[in-house]
Amino acid sequence: MIYLIPGLGADERIFRNLQPLLQHKSQVVLWLTPEPDETLPHYAARMSAKIPAGQVGLLVGVSFGGMVALEITRMRPELRTVLISSIPDSSCLPPLLRLIRATGVYHLVPPRLLKLFPRAGQWYFGVKNQEYPLFKEILRDMEPVYTKWAINRLMHWDSTNAGTSIQILGTHDWVFPPGPTPVEYLIRGGGHFMVISHAPEIAAILNKLAAEFEHTAKLTNATSSHS
């Protein structure tokens, strides 16, 4: 099973090119409305309730969804976390986001302002022209309360003991650019929106990882049954 968590403010539309290419059953885990002042671990616990107890498989998170995926696997270690256009811990925040966090400027910018400058967002997120209509739709439908909460949690993520993950990153991702930390899979030419633009390459990786995980799980079960 492959569970998919979209990026900040996005929904199942972000996986429209990817899901048809997956060889295993997949399900999108949609965002919940955050409670007032809800912590990220508490939110992740509510999100994890959408995944049946004991379910094994891949938990794939895009961007902020990757951080939520890591929080979920603290409680659900039977799931294997895969990050797309995301980071494995808070130390990997790039200089621009660190500056934004240090100055607190994100408190002064209402989320709805993002909707007024879609072309700037297109450049920053690496959205190709053919993907721009979908990007504009996602911006239009972003829920301000959720977006404000998520940005705040992104800036103050405590990733201590977040666990291991497999990272898929694009060489042209300006949001989370490749840094000194090794990346398992680097997609050449991929931007932050590469789950749409580079879906075939990402699907090939996920299919490979899912098959490996399934094989390992079967071996583990076989060993347990003979012990």
* Strand ranges across the sheet with 166-170: 26-28, 2-5, 57-62, 79-84, 166-170, 185-187
Architecture of domain 2-225: 3-Layer(aba) Sandwich (3.40)
Average pLDDT over residues 135-156: 84
Q: What is the pLDDT of residues 52-73, one digit of tens each?
A: 988 889 999 999 999 999 999 9
**Can you read off the two tokens belonging to residue 74?**
């603290």
Domain ranges of the chain: 2-225
Cα 137 from Cα 127, distance rounded (Å): 13
Q: What is the pLDDT of residues 165-187, one digit of tens each?
A: 999 999 999 889 988 778 999 99
Beta strands (DSSP E) in the chain are 2-5, 26-28, 57-62, 79-84, 166-170, 185-187
**Is 50 exceeded by the pLDDT of residue 108?**
no
Global pTM?
0.88
Q: What is the pLDDT of residues 38-53, one digit of tens each?
A: 999 999 999 999 999 8
**Is 50 exceeded by the pLDDT of residue 157?**
yes
Count how many Cα atoms sit within 13 Å of the Cα of residue 98 in the half-sphere of its side chain.
7
